C-alpha cells in the first residue's frame, strides 16, 4: 500500500497530490493568476508564486486525503521539461521532504506523466496505444509501449497547438490563457464561417506557425476594413480557428493510427480539455472503430495527480533517484 506524494511545478500551476496504492485521494492545484496581466507566463514571477504556494498545496493535499505526512512512503516530482526556476521550487521541496523523512525520491518526466494520467481512472488503455499529447509547450504523437517505454513518433516543428490557441486569443484581445476562452466562444460560433489553411507537413509532424501568421493577417486586414470586426464576429472566429486546429491534430492522429495499426487512442495535455477536440476524437473514433480515452478535465491540464500515479508505477519497479538530482528544462523521454 505505498503512499506517494506527487509534486508538480513545471510551469504556472503549483500542484500536490496523494496517491495510495494507485488510487488518487487528492489533487490540489493552485493556479497563478498573476500572469494574466502580462499575456503569458512570466518565468521569474512563476517561481516566486510557486515558492509561496508549495507548502500550503502539500498541506491541503494531505488534509483532503486524510493522510499524515509521516505515512508518506516516497515523493515523486516533475524533473522536467519546464521552466527551470519553476522546476527548482518543486525539486527542492521534494528533496528536502525526502531527506527529512528518509524516504525515496522518484523523478518524473512531465510529458510522460501527461500520458500516464490515463492510468488514474478506468477504463485504462492497453499497450501499445497512441497518445496525442497537446499542451501549451508540446504537440506530440506518442507510441506508448509500456509505462515508461514511450516513443515520440510525431511532433511540432515550430509552435505547439496550445501556443497557437494562446497567440490567437492574444491577437483577439482575450486574456491569458486563451485556450479555455476560445473553447467557450467557439461553442456559440459557426466553425465554417472562415477557412484557415492546413499546413502540408510530411509524415506525422505538425506545424502551427503558418496558421498563426495566417490568422494574424486575416484579423489585421478585416479590422482595417471594419474596426468592430473582432467584437462582431468573435464567436465565429474562435469556432473557425478551433476547427482548423482540431482538424490538423486529428488528421495526423488518424494517419498514425493507420500506420501503426493501433486502435487504442488517447488524448492528453492541457488542450485535451478542449470541447471541440474531445468531441472530434469521439466522432472519429466511432468512425474508425477505435477505443478512445480522454482524461477527466482536472487530469488534462497540469496537475500533480499524474505525477503521483507515474510515481506509483516507478515505486513498484524500485526506480528511485539520488539526492544530487537537478531539474532539466529540456528532458527527452
Site residues for ligand KG4 per CB under 6 A? 11, 135-137, 162, 165-166, 177-180, 183, 269-271, 273-274, 301-302
135 binds Zn ion (CB under 5 A): yes
Least Cβ distance, residue 33 to ligand KG4 (angstroms)? 14
Residue nearest to ligand KG4 as judged by C-beta position? 270
Please tell me the distance from the alpha carbon of residue 137 to that of residue 87, in angstroms, as a whole number: 15
303 binds Zn ion (CB under 5 A): no
Least Cβ distance, residue 109 to ligand KG4 (angstroms)? 12
State which residue, 31 or 190, has the beta carbon closest to Zn ion: 31
Least Cβ distance, residue 62 to ligand KG4 (angstroms)? 23
Please tell me the distance from the alpha carbon of residue 56 to that of residue 48, in angstroms, as a whole number: 14
State which residue, 154 or 177, has the beta carbon closest to Zn ion: 177
Q: Which helix (H) or strand (E) holds 209?
A: helix 209-225
Please tell me the distance from the alpha carbon of residue 150 to that of residue 143, in angstroms, as a whole number: 6
Please tell me the distance from the alpha carbon of residue 103 to that of residue 43, in angstroms, as a whole number: 30
**How do 129-134 and 139-146 pair as beta strands?**
antiparallel
Binding string to Zn ion for residues 92 to 131, with x set by CB under 5 A, is what? ----------------------------------------
State which residue, 125 or 270, has the beta carbon closest to ligand KG4: 270
Please tell me the distance from the alpha carbon of residue 37 to that of residue 47, in angstroms, as a whole number: 17
Least Cβ distance, residue 278 to ligand KG4 (angstroms)? 9
Say which residues have a Cβ less than 8 Å from residue 163's Cβ, sequence separation at least 6. 136, 137, 208
Please tell me the distance from the alpha carbon of residue 209 to that of residue 160, in angstroms, as a whole number: 9
Q: The sheet that has 23-31: what strands, in order across it?
A: 23-31, 13-20, 3-8, 74-80, 105-109
Please tell me the distance from the alpha carbon of residue 166 to that of residue 156, in angstroms, as a whole number: 16
State which residue, 175 or 227, has the beta carbon closest to ligand KG4: 175
Least Cβ distance, residue 268 to ligand KG4 (angstroms)? 8
State which residue, 20 or 113, has the beta carbon closest to ligand KG4: 113
- Identify what 179 binds: Zn ion, ligand KG4, none; CB under 5 to 8 Å per kind: ligand KG4
Could you count the other beta carbons within 10 Å of the beta carbon of residue 121?
14
**φ, ψ for residue 199, nearest 5 deg:** -65, 145
**How do 264-268 and 129-134 pair as beta strands?**
parallel
The dihedral built from the CA positions of residue 154, 115, 180 and 256, taken in this order, carries a sign that is: positive
Binding string to Zn ion for residues 58 to 97, with x set by CB under 5 A, is what? ----------------------------------------
Exposed / middle / buried, residue 293 (Cβ in 10 Å: 0-12, 13-18, 19+): buried
- Identify what 8 binds: Zn ion, ligand KG4, none; CB under 5 to 8 Å per kind: none
State which residue, 2 or 40, has the beta carbon closest to ligand KG4: 40
- Identify what 162 binds: Zn ion, ligand KG4, none; CB under 5 to 8 Å per kind: ligand KG4
302 binds Zn ion (CB under 5 A): yes
- Identify what 180 binds: ligand KG4, Zn ion, none; CB under 5 to 8 Å per kind: ligand KG4
Least Cβ distance, residue 314 to Zn ion (angstroms)? 18
State which residue, 104 or 177, has the beta carbon closest to ligand KG4: 177
Binding site for Zn ion (CB under 5 A): 135, 302
Amino acid at each position: 500500500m505505498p503512499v506517494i506524494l506527487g509534486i508538480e511545478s513545471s510551469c504556472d500551476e503549483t500542484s500536490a497530490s496523494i496517491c495510495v496504492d494507485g488510487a488518487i485521494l487528492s489533487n490540489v492545484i493552485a493556479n497563478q493568476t498573476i500572469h494574466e496581466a502580462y499575456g503569458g507566463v512570466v518565468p521569474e514571477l512563476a517561481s516566486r508564486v510557486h515558492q509561496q504556494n508549495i507548502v500550503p498545496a502539500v498541506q491541503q493535499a494531505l488534509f483532503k486525503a486524510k493522510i499524515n505526512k509521516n505515512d508518506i512512503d516516497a515523493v515523486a516530482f516533475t524533473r522536467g521539461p519546464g521552466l527551470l526556476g519553476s522546476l527548482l521550487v518543486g525539486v527542492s521541496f521534494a528533496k528536502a521532504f525526502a531527506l527529512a523523512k528518509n524516504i525515496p525520491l522518484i523523478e518524473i518526466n512531465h510529458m510522460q506523466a501527461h500520458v500516464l494520467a490515463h492510468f488514474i481512472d478506468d477504463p485504462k488503455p492497453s499497450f501499445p496505444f497512441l497518445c496525442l499529447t497537446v499542451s501549451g509547450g508540446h504537440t506530440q504523437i506518442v507510441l506508448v509501449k509500456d509505462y515508461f517505454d514511450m516513443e515520440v513518433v510525431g511532433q511540432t516543428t515550430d509552435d505547439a497547438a496550445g501556443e497557437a490557441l494562446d497567440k490567437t486569443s492574444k491577437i483577439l484581445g482575450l486574456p491569458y490563457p486563451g485556450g479555455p476562452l476560445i473553447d467557450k466562444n467557439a461553442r456559440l460560433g459557426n466553425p465554417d464561417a472562415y477557412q484557415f489553411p492546413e499546413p502540408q507537413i510530411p509524415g506525422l509532424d505538425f506545424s502551427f506557425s503558418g496558421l498563426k501568421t495566417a490568422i494574424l493577417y486575416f484579423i489585421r486586414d478585416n479590422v482595417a476594413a471594419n474596426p468592430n470586426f473582432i467584437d462582431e464576429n468573435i464567436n465565429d472566429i474562435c469556432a473557425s480557428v478551433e476547427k482548423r486546429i482540431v482538424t490538423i491534430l486529428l488528421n495526423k492522429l488518424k494517419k498514425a493510427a493507420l500506420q501503426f495499426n493501433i486502435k487504442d487512442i488517447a488524448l492528453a495535455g492541457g488542450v485535451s480539455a478542449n470541447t471541440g477536440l474531445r468531441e472530434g476524437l469521439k466522432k472519429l473514433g466511432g468512425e474508425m472503430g477505435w477505443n478512445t480515452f480522454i482524461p477527466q478535465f482536472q487530469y488534462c491540464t497540469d496537475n500533480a495527480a499524474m505525477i503521483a500515479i507515474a510515481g506509483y508505477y516507478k515505486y513498484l519497479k524500485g526506480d528511485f533517484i539520488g539526492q544530487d538530482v537537478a531539474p532539466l528544462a529540456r528532458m527527452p523521454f
